[in-house]
Structure 1
Amino acid sequence: MSQVSIKPLTWIGYLEGTSFLLLLFIAMPLKYQMGIVEPVKYLGMAHGVLFMLYVYMLMSTAAKIKLPLWAMPSGVLASLLPFGPFVFDKLLKRSLNS
């Protein structure tokens, strides 16, 4: 399988993973330690949109190319964990290249 066909999934996964990390490690401490709520409001909304787009891209990619059976549930689970989309992308690329 070509990595070009999973490139949109990779990009959205990186954006979603980065937004989650920013939300967890920057916006949440600002909210609960300094009382600044705006970063959570905007990063939370961006993360929500990126999460939905990531799940859509995962389903779309699975429909276009034959992803391994473990890829769909693992991709959704990975999106719920910090650094998960980055690890999932690496595992998926390794699986498709072998």
Structure 2
Amino acid sequence: MSPIGKLFAVTALIEAFTWAGLLVGMYLKYGSGTTDLGVWLFGRLHGAAFLLYILVAFVAGARLRWPMWALLLAVLAAIPPLVTLPLELWFRRRGLLSATGV
């Protein structure tokens, strides 16, 4: 895996974990009504992780010469919760995260 491929994998993992934290925080705030600290904290963390993931996806797409469909999938995967993880694994298997992959 190329260095930018590794960075994409790490940011996909971080984006998914902050999504999970935000979902737990939303349950605690709206489901059980106990606290809004999780939404406060993970909302900020996930916002930063989302922006970083989008930036890294565009840089990785350019450097690794992804086809347009791959870049579009990478960007769209950040919208539903936890989709960046299976996408990253699929990209890894297809060789899209290595310099000689495409």
TM-score, normalisation: structure 2: 0.84
Residue 27 (structure 2) aligned to one of 26, 29, 37: 29
Cα RMSD for the two superposed structures? 1.6
- In structure 2, the residue matched to 1:62 is 61
TM-score, normalisation: structure 1: 0.87
Give yes or no for contact 2:29–2:39 (8 Å, CA) kept in 1.
yes
| Structure 2 residue 76 is matched with structure 1 residue 77 | yes
Point out the structure with the larger helix share: 1
Which runs of no fewer than 5 residues in structure 2 stay unpaired? Answer: 96-100
CA distance, structure 2, for counterparts of residue 94 and residue 42 of structure 1:
34
Give yes or no for contact 2:77–2:87 (8 Å, CA) kept in 1.
yes
CA distance, structure 1, for counterparts of residue 82 and residue 42 of structure 2:
17
Aligned length: 96
Identity of aligned residues (%): 25
